[in-house]
């Protein structure tokens, strides 16, 4: 290698010798290429003859017993040359090790992975101890025992050291080459990307754990049996249930009896279809009251390696069997948010609206409401009796079409000004009645006094207008 580098110097007095070395090297490479082509042809011929032999003597092949040393020796002798040929062009980093641990062959994929020149391996100057960290040499040596009873070992995690001293995570598999000796082929699987994913996953899990501990919501995981584990203690704080007595079904036991059928049905649909879960349910609290919660859960789709195990490890420890969860085929991550105050407020609003409707229908005036943009959105029943329209008729600003043409412009100008300023509204107007209603002329119009005031929200803005039309004929 040193002489080759010196040959790059145009002032080198041994330029002629360097040229001879280059020519010799090129000639050797050409011979090696020709030998490999010849070997390929022989292997193809050998494979064809072997297939023919198996067809002619099927019972002989079937009678090979890999537990017998003689049979294993026959298989090893037959396969050795083909293994070396196969790994030459494979993308799997591979090398051959002698009985004393010396590396006597390696492919280009290994050189690329570890950052060596391939000649470093082929020269025989490297051994496994130079590319394997010390603490993993013992582990690797222990796995050599697999080859006492098998031609191929199981895969295990180890490390290899690059030419720059960096340690890489790899998966290792051994293949025996000679019966009764330690000579073997070593196949490596680059685990760097997987290890990086594991590190990122662990960091995300730590962040997730810290986040859910501070959230006011119940955060949980559920499997296909609808057994649930909690990521924080909000559920236990609400219900008073102790984690040590929760085997995964404390959630269902805390539900209101009236919600159980709906709970089971929605989860059954989510599990069968592998889709999301959503619904509003009542949970029994430690104070004996039921509180409304909106529960949402999404299936964990195509989890990363170790993601399920990592997530479950940061759940609150309870009486459930965590090993059972590790084998779960489906997993949902969900939240439950307390909406009891909103639910009760909505019920109060609905009750108030019902009371308003009842009151509006009892008085003789036509009662109406409008949004902050001035569009009418509600009429009492008196309006439908007077106009002959139905509730399906959305009025909006079309109420102007019921006005006498001579009153319309003045009324609308005053109404638009009040909507803009928020000042109380008042105007006289003639409204068209349905046939048969009392009216002051043959045109079917009745005179009304219109009044409206604005209702304001906590910010001082107009939330709604409430108005009346009172007959003054």
Look up the CATH number of the domain holding residue 289. Answer: 3.30.450.20
Residue-level pLDDT at 98: 87
Residue-level pLDDT at 61: 47
Helix (H, G, I), strand (E, B) or coil at 147: helix
Count Cβ atoms within 10 A of the Cβ of residue 193 and give its class: 0-12 exposed, 13-18 middle, 19 or more buried: exposed
Confidence of residue 441 (pLDDT cuts 50, 70, 90): very low
203 versus 157: the higher-pLDDT residue is: 157
**207 and 179 within one domain:** no
**208 and 75 within one domain:** no
Domains of the chain: total: 4
Q: Identify the bridge partners of residue 185 per DSSP, sorted by sequence position.
A: 96, 175
**What are the helix (H) ranges across 160-277?**
192-214, 234-239, 250-254, 260-273
Q: Which residues contact 141 (CB under 8 A, 6 or more apart)?
A: none
**151 and 108 within one domain:** yes
**331 and 202 within one domain:** yes
Which of the listed residues 190, 206, 233 is the one where a domain comes to its end?
190
Strands (DSSP E) contained in 155-245 are 156-161, 167-176, 184-190, 218-223, 228-230
Diameter of the chain measured on Cα atoms: 128
**272 and 208 within one domain:** yes
Which of the listed residues 309, 338, 367 is the one where a domain comes to its end?
338
**331 and 249 within one domain:** yes
Residue-level pLDDT at 107: 86
Residue with token string 């649909």: 269
Confidence of residue 1 (pLDDT cuts 50, 70, 90): very low
Q: Give the number of residues written for the chain.
A: 473
Residue with token string 């109404």: 415
Which of the listed residues 158, 190, 222 is the one where a domain comes to its end?
190
pLDDT at 3 > cutoff 60: no
Residues of the domain holding 142: 64-190
**421 and 387 within one domain:** yes
Residue-level pLDDT at 73: 56
Rounded to the nearest angstrom, the gap between the alpha carbon of residue 245 and the centroid of all alpha carbons in its chain is 30
16-19 contacts at long range (C-beta below 8 A, 24 or more positions apart): none
pLDDT at 242 > cutoff 80: yes
**170 and 78 within one domain:** yes
Q: What is the pLDDT of residues 111-144, one digit of tens each?
A: 889 999 888 887 778 888 999 998 898 888 888 8
Residue with token string 């109060």: 348
**123 and 75 within one domain:** yes
Q: Structure tokens of 1?
A: 């290698």
**326 and 296 within one domain:** yes
Rounded to the nearest angstrom, the gap between the alpha carbon of residue 405 and the centroid of all alpha carbons in its chain is 63
pLDDT at 298 > cutoff 90: yes
**421 and 354 within one domain:** yes
Cα distance between the two ends of the chain:
117
> Which residue from 21, 32, 4, 10 is spatially nearest to 117, judged by alpha carbons?
4
CA distance 395 to 376: 6
Phi, psi dihedrals of residue 9, rounded to the nearest 5°: -90, 115
**361 and 456 within one domain:** yes
CA distance 285 to 211: 24
């Amino acid at each position: 290698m040193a002489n080759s580098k010196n040959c790059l110097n145009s002032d080198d007095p041994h330029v002629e010798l360097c040229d001879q070395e280059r020519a010799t090297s090129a000639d050797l490479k050409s011979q090696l290429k020709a030998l490999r082509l010849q070997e390929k042809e022989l292997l193809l011929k050998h494979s064809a003859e072997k297939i023919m032999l198996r067809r002619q003597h099927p019972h002989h092949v079937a009678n090979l017993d890999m537990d017998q040393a003689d049979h294993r020796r026959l298989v090893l002798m037959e396969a050795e040359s083909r293994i070396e040929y196969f790994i030459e062009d494979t993308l799997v980093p591979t090398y051959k090790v002698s009985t004393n641990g010396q590396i006597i062959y390696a492919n280009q994929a290994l050189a690329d992975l570890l950052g060596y020149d391939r000649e470093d391996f082929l020269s025989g100057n490297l051994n496994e101890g130079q590319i394997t960290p010390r603490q993993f040499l013992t582990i690797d040596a222990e796995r050599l025992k697999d080859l006492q009873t098998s031609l191929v070992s199981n895969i295990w995690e180890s490390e290899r050291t690059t030419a720059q001293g960096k340690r890489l995570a790899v998966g290792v598999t051994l293949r025996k080459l000679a019966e009764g000796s330690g000579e073997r082929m070593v196949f490596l699987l680059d685990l760097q990307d997987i290890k990086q994913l594991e590190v990122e996953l662990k960091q995300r899990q730590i962040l997730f754990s810290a986040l859910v501990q501070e959230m006011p919501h119940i955060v949980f995981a559920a499997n296909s049996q609808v057994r649930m584990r909690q990521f924080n203690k909000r559920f236990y704080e609400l219900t008073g249930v102790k984690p040590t007595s929760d085997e995964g079904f404390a959630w269902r036991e805390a539900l209101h009896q009236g919600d159980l059928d709906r709970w089971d049905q929605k989860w059954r649909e989510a599990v069968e279809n592998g889709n999301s879960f959503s619904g509003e349910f009542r949970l029994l609290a430690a104070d004996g009251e039921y509180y409304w919660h909106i529960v949402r859960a999404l299936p964990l789709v195509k989890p990363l390696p170790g993601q399920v195990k990592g997530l479950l490890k940061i759940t609150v420890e309870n009486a459930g069997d965590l090993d059972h969860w590790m084998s779960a085929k489906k997993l949902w991550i969900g939240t439950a948010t307390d909406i009891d105050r909103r639910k009760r407020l909505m019920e109060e609003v609905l009750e108030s609206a019902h009371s308003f409707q009842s009151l509006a229908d009892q008085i003789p005036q036509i009662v109406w409401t409008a949004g902050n943009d001035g569009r009418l959105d509600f009429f009492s029943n008196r309006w439908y009796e007077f106009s002959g329209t139905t509730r399906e008729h959305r009025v909006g600003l079309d109420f102007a079409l019921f006005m006498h043409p001579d009153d319309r412009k003045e009324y609308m100008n005053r109404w638009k000004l009040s909507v803009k300023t928020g000042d109380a509204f008042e105007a006289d107007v003639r409204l068209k009645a349905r046939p048969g209603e009392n009216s002051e002329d043959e045109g079917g119009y009745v005179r009304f006094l219109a009044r409206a005031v604005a209702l304001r929200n906590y910010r001082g803005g107009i939330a709604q207008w409430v108005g009346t039309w009172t007959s003054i004929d």
